[in-house]
Structure 1
Amino acid sequence: MQQYTLELFRKDDSRFELRVLDGTWLTFPLIEQAEIDALLVLAAQDYRVNAPDLEQRGQDLFNWIDRHSNGWLRRVRQMQQPMTLVLDVREAGLRHLPWELLHDGVKFLCADPFQWFTPLRRVTPAERKHDWQPQKRQLGVLFMASSPEDVQPVLDFEAEESGILQATARKPLDLQVEESGSLQGLEERLTERADSPDVIHFSGHADIDKASGQPVFLLEDEVGRCAPATPQALAKTLRDANSAPRVVFLSGCRTGESSQQDGMLSFSEQVVTAGVPVVLGWALPVGDVAASQAAAALYDKLATGFGIAEAVALARQALLENHSPYWHLLRCYVDGSALNPLVAKGRQPIRRHNTPQQFLDAGGRVPVCARTAFIGRRRLLQRSLRCLRAWQGDEAYAEGILLHGMGGLGKSSTAARLIDRLRNSHEAVVCYGGLDETALVAALGKALPKAQSLLNDAQQTLEQRLRELFEPEDNPLCAKPLLLVFDDFEQNIPLERRKLGQADYHPASLAVLHTVLQAIHDSQSDTRVIVTSRFAVPVPRPCRARAACIARTRKPCTLPT
């Protein structure tokens, strides 16, 4: 896309010079402050999603630029080429104007399906730039949803994750999810990574705090209550984690809204000022469906190797094609960096994390739903992950968790999602059904070929071998802590007892499970255990396995037929 820059340079207390960068800087006659104030009232006052005069506002903006630039904007449009208009918003209130509504009298510029157009709001000096080159790999996106228990309405953020996955099913995108919904959880995940994600996507409620008049994103604390986060707190989290994403998408209401009355900068603009090159937000409250559609279209294009400006333009067009009234609310703030593609064009290897297949290989008959169909369990995932990631001595710590409840309610699917969420930090080993020492050693040996000799050492007890295998420091046999999943553990109850609803587990099976938990406890390892069963499972002290009873939800997990 051809890029042009428009700015108003203050000449004195009451006049501005309009400048346009079109190869070289073009300058035009001075504009009085009163004319700019009139434009602000005309175009920005009472701006709302379904205002009846959106076309007229857009034409007023177009005609104002065209008149003060001696017809420059109309001449550029007649060249019939995709274009990006960078607006320096540091002066004269340009940040408040809905530039997405620019209308040439025939159509909205953003609505042209061939001559793509997108406005970008530059909020820092032009010389402050980041330089990056497209990478020959998958697009890396870290997705964090927040929906505090004490904030209504509950957001359908799982549909947003599902929409992104479906839109990019055949595209090179690696979408990882941070379930905590908190800045602390975000910092921990970013610190775990060897590199920064290309994009961090926040999905949740956002607002303007009435007391301070400042924008906040409604994140969560460690128990799921509302913990409003400021732009400064988010920027500090990124700095403390030594993470430098190229793009942050603040998919929450009013994250792109600034205030003309008190000079408040939008959440998005403040994050750019703090050092993120590109930040997207919404100017007004936005619907869940529109937010999901825009995100899916954006990441579809970014993963294919489109530049950022092109991807934003096409995301907005996706909303227009779906007749969404929110299409003009998407705002893009930049720092002046060249908006090169994040990943290179061309066929990139698509690395799939096929967690359900691990379960099917283990048992051959266990239906586990795909990520795109798994909905309605976020709070369970959140609490389970808090436990599985805790250190010994933490209040939430346990050697493992037990997912129990009736069949067909998603215990195995929940375990699969937990494996997926922990894939960066843990190596998963799935043991299906009947369990004894031979079955455990075989499963571990298959996953860890280097540990075969240790696992088959008859001179040591099972607990001694496991303690050595779980050793957390400089372990040559096991590069990462294990996540041991004992799926369908009720198979270790004799059938006749199971039919009577009696949880009489075979003593040998319980002994193996208890040995694993004790070895984790004694070695102080980060290895953890997940058990799925229709019945509760006894665990002797000092070990703990936090229990979570899975019942039917308003939106149950959908299993494939």
Structure 2
Amino acid sequence: MKILHLDLKLVGDRYAELRLFWDNPNNCQSRQLSLTEITKLIQKVETDYYTRLPEDYAKTGQALYNWLDGSDRIFQSAIDQHKREVIVLAIAATEKLAHLPWEILHDSTDFLVNRRPFPIIPIRWVKDDDSKQLTPEDQPANRALNVLFMATSPLEIEPELDFEAEEAQVLSATKRQPLSLIVEESGCLKELGYLVDNNEKNYFDVIHLTGHATFRDKKPCFITETELGEAEYSSAEDIATELQFQLPKLIFLSGCNTGYSSDAGAVPSMAEALLKQGATAVIGWGQRVLDTDAIATAAVLYQELSAGKTLTEAIAIAYQVLLKNQARDWHLLRLYVAETLPGALVKRGRKPVPRASVAQEFLDPEKKLRVATRETFVGRRRQLQNCLRTLKTSSTEVGVLIHGMGGLGKSTIAARLCDRLSEDQPIIWWRQIDESSLVSKLADKLRNPSADDLVKDGLCTQLKNYLQQKQWREADEETAWIFYQVMVKENYKDWEELLRNFPCETLKEINQLWLQNSNDKFGISIQAGIYQSLGGTDSYNEDVWKKFTEQVGWNQSYNAILERVVNETVTVEGSITGTMLASRAPSPSLPVLIYTKSGVVDGAVINFESMGEYYSYCGSTTARRRVISLLSRGDL
């Protein structure tokens, strides 16, 4: 891939300068363009392109191509230097020049983006005074493509978007590709920020926002929703603030006018404004776009990106598919970049990832009432917003009653309401209710919680989030943190006493979270099962210990354990309570920091940075006794 830079800037009141160069800004070709010509071209674009009944785009694209080329064929000559390579056309233009429809450039044979097999892909380079050239980046992640999807369709904003169809088509197009699609179902920018913050830095490769953009007080804004479903006009600064320190490589603003510059280019588009706020690359639409075209574009784009294609390759394929299908609005798709042009977001050849689990989670402490997980429950936005409106703003209603046939999702709506009313204390009651029992239940909530109540009061919420997102390091650290809090609360004198006497119900709850979210690959009960199947007891045995550490994969550094867990390359053999571990599944190494992260030995706190460091210490009988005190328990 080669990048041909086109730098267009005004020179005085009569001319504009066109500079063309490849890798070296100092080695460029240039010529002056008359502002009279530019004015005529812009007028032609306004009448033949930015109109409800446009002229043939090919004719407009040819006029634009010929204007760039000039009588000396400067543009064609530059392209011919690399005519058997894919060319990215990085176009830096200001105001009225930026308003020109570069995507429809046409060489009288075909649109440049539709040339086969070497397309020429126009992108919009938003440069500042210090930018000399566009820098390509090639740092693909060795995992599935992570996309965060949020659709915004506020009440009383027309037209209402069919965003569930967009999500469904993306999933259908990528069913054979390694893509992980996470949906933020609220449409609320603040909730989006919470979801992003709950994941590790750079976890999301793409944030996809479906909705409408507009201009208010000559500033671009994206119409999001309040938690009650009302319209909220979010500026680029608002979006950047919520995504602070977590901006992905690509933001796709899939909505009308997200790439449209007001006042013939004098007011920057929403996409350009986001680049000014620190975004790397933004995709937008140059005008109103048909839902069908926007949905088809998203499906093709993520199919190609998840397969390891570069960003410009994926954009080119999207153009070509839309053209083949005679999509009306193909040419409105616009890619904006600032200083860096992202390459492939993920490596090629990754295996497809399993779709989000439809396994249910329990809502009540007795584990009798099942509800859908947050990730698998979408499409009830209006019901949730109506309930929140009553619970948060009404002065006459004291609550809401959700009723209907069984299996329609009443309990899951209630669970999502509990999530959104985090400042309130939930009490879960299942089936029959009476006054005396209700008073007793309320009284129980007012008591000081025991160690087993910590789980009910949300101590494991963050652990569950980490495990559901397969963030194994964070989940391991969170597990150790929960153990520490129980030790402080129960006033255990040291870590060994904690592990030996850790409250049974809390231990089972933590273990169950690990089992459920790892398909029974990780968990304290699995580790204990291996240890006890080898003849391990609460007394230390050198041979048993050696075999155990080999089977669970503890004979290596902590970072190596995590790497092998992620890559799933460990082959484990052995029997755990009669069940054979699957071949090429990760060793049941996790959790591990509850045994090694912290401990009190002779009054000193031990903090291990790696398993290697830990094992250099494991000559200590105290350390080994601490580990087997939990592994030898029989109440898991």
TM-score interval w.r.t. the shorter chain? 0.5 to 0.7
- Opposite residue 405 of structure 2, the aligned amino acid is M
- Opposite residue 19 of structure 2, the aligned amino acid is R
Aligned to 1:43: 45
Aligned to 1:446: none
Aligned to 1:19: 19
> Is 1:31 aligned to residue 38 of structure 2?
no
Unaligned runs of 5+ in 2: 423-429, 433-448, 468-504, 507-512, 514-636
Unaligned runs of 5+ in 1: 426-432, 436-462, 484-518, 521-526, 528-561
From 229, 237, 243, the equivalent of 1:238 is: 243
Report how far residue 205 of structure 1 moved.
2.1
For 2:189 and 2:431, locate their aligned partners in 1 and report how far apart those are by CA, in whole Å: 41
- Opposite residue 163 of structure 2, the aligned amino acid is F
Aligned to 2:7: 7
Q: Deviations over 1:236-293 (max 9, x none)?
A: 2222xx2121111111111111134471111111111111011111111111111111
Report how far residue 407 of structure 1 moved.
4.4
Q: Is the 8 A contact 2:99 2:265 kept in 1?
A: no
- Opposite residue 168 of structure 2, the aligned amino acid is S
Q: Secondary structure at the match of 1:205?
A: strand
1:99/1:261 CA distance change after superposition, 3 Å? closer
- Opposite residue 115 of structure 2, the aligned amino acid is D
Q: Is the 8 A contact 1:49 1:284 kept in 2?
A: no
Report how far residue 465 of structure 1 moved.
7.0
Q: Deviations over 1:154-180 (max 9, x none)?
A: 210111111111111121111111122
Report how far residue 44 of structure 1 moved.
3.9
Aligned to 1:185: 191
For 2:18 and 2:72, locate their aligned partners in 1 and report how far apart those are by CA, in whole Å: 7
Q: Is the 8 A contact 2:179 2:306 kept in 1?
A: yes
1:269/1:45 CA distance change after superposition, 3 Å? farther
Q: Secondary structure at the match of 1:43?
A: helix
Aligned to 2:463: 479
- Opposite residue 20 of structure 1, the aligned amino acid is L
Aligned to 1:533: none
Q: Secondary structure at the match of 2:154?
A: coil
Aligned to 2:309: 306
From 62, 66, 74, the equivalent of 1:63 is: 66
1:261/1:112 CA distance change after superposition, 3 Å? closer
Matches within 5 A, 1:334-349: 334-348=337-351
Aligned to 2:220: 215
1:112/1:21 CA distance change after superposition, 3 Å? same
1:376/1:238 CA distance change after superposition, 3 Å? closer
Report how far residue 112 of structure 1 moved.
3.0
From 81, 86, 94, the equivalent of 1:82 is: 86
For 1:314 and 1:416, locate their aligned partners in 2 and report how far apart those are by CA, in whole Å: 43
Q: Secondary structure at the match of 1:81?
A: coil
Higher relative contact order (CA 8 A, sep 6+): 1
From 464, 467, 473, the equivalent of 2:453 is: 467
For 1:16 and 1:153, locate their aligned partners in 2 and report how far apart those are by CA, in whole Å: 40
Q: Is the 8 A contact 1:29 1:68 kept in 2?
A: no
Q: What is the total number of aligned residue pairs between the two structures? A: 429
1:344/1:282 CA distance change after superposition, 3 Å? same
Q: Secondary structure at the match of 1:245?
A: coil
Q: Is the 8 A contact 2:297 2:322 kept in 1?
A: yes
Aligned to 1:406: 405
> Is 1:170 aligned to residue 181 of structure 2?
no
Q: Is the 8 A contact 1:146 1:220 kept in 2?
A: yes
Q: Secondary structure at the match of 2:353?
A: coil
Report how far residue 357 of structure 1 moved.
7.8
- Opposite residue 119 of structure 2, the aligned amino acid is W
Question: Which has the larger displacement, 50-59 or 110-119?
Answer: 110-119
Structure showing greater radius of gyration is 2
Report how far residue 184 of structure 1 moved.
1.3
1:69/1:120 CA distance change after superposition, 3 Å? farther
For 2:289 and 2:123, locate their aligned partners in 1 and report how far apart those are by CA, in whole Å: 20
Report how far residue 110 of structure 1 moved.
2.1
For 1:152 and 1:478, locate their aligned partners in 2 and report how far apart those are by CA, in whole Å: 38
Q: What percent of counterpart residues are identical?
A: 36
1:323/1:7 CA distance change after superposition, 3 Å? same
Q: Is the 8 A contact 2:240 2:247 kept in 1?
A: no
Q: Secondary structure at the match of 2:464?
A: coil
For 1:205 and 1:472, locate their aligned partners in 2 and report how far apart those are by CA, in whole Å: 37
Q: Secondary structure at the match of 2:341?
A: coil
Q: Is the 8 A contact 1:470 1:481 kept in 2?
A: no
Q: Deviations over 1:58-108 (max 9, x none)?
A: 100111112166343266268243221100123x63210111111111222
For 1:401 and 1:307, locate their aligned partners in 2 and report how far apart those are by CA, in whole Å: 49
> Is 1:282 aligned to residue 285 of structure 2?
yes
Question: Which has the larger displacement, 170-179 or 41-50?
Answer: 41-50
Matches within 5 A, 1:151-550: 151-196=157-202, 197-209=204-216, 212-239=217-244, 242-261=245-264, 263-348=266-351, 350-356=353-359, 376-380=379-383, 404-407=403-406, 409=408, 466-470=452-456, 472=458, 479-480=463-464
For 1:368 and 1:185, locate their aligned partners in 2 and report how far apart those are by CA, in whole Å: 19
Q: Secondary structure at the match of 1:134?
A: coil
Aligned to 1:438: none
- Opposite residue 139 of structure 1, the aligned amino acid is L
For 2:285 and 2:273, locate their aligned partners in 1 and report how far apart those are by CA, in whole Å: 14
For 1:303 and 1:482, locate their aligned partners in 2 and report how far apart those are by CA, in whole Å: 23
For 2:384 and 2:416, locate their aligned partners in 1 and report how far apart those are by CA, in whole Å: 7
For 2:462 and 2:123, locate their aligned partners in 1 and report how far apart those are by CA, in whole Å: 48
Aligned to 2:141: 135
For 1:311 and 1:149, locate their aligned partners in 2 and report how far apart those are by CA, in whole Å: 34
Aligned to 2:97: 94
For 2:332 and 2:155, locate their aligned partners in 1 and report how far apart those are by CA, in whole Å: 27
For 1:60 and 1:417, locate their aligned partners in 2 and report how far apart those are by CA, in whole Å: 59
1:352/1:201 CA distance change after superposition, 3 Å? same
Q: Is the 8 A contact 1:258 1:266 kept in 2?
A: yes
Q: Secondary structure at the match of 1:163?
A: helix
For 2:402 and 2:147, locate their aligned partners in 1 and report how far apart those are by CA, in whole Å: 29
Question: Which has the larger displacement, 26-35 or 121-130?
Answer: 121-130
Q: Secondary structure at the match of 1:310?
A: helix
1:316/1:48 CA distance change after superposition, 3 Å? farther
For 1:375 and 1:145, locate their aligned partners in 2 and report how far apart those are by CA, in whole Å: 11
Q: Is the 8 A contact 1:44 1:96 kept in 2?
A: no
Report how far residue 130 of structure 1 moved.
8.8
Q: Deviations over 1:367-409 (max 9, x none)?
A: 999x99x87533235678x79xx9xx999xxxx9986412464
> RMSD of the TM alignment (CA)?
4.2
For 1:262 and 1:98, locate their aligned partners in 2 and report how far apart those are by CA, in whole Å: 11
Report how far residue 30 of structure 1 moved.
2.1
User: Normalized per residue, which structure has more helix?
Assistant: 2
- Opposite residue 87 of structure 2, the aligned amino acid is M
Report how far residue 356 of structure 1 moved.
4.6
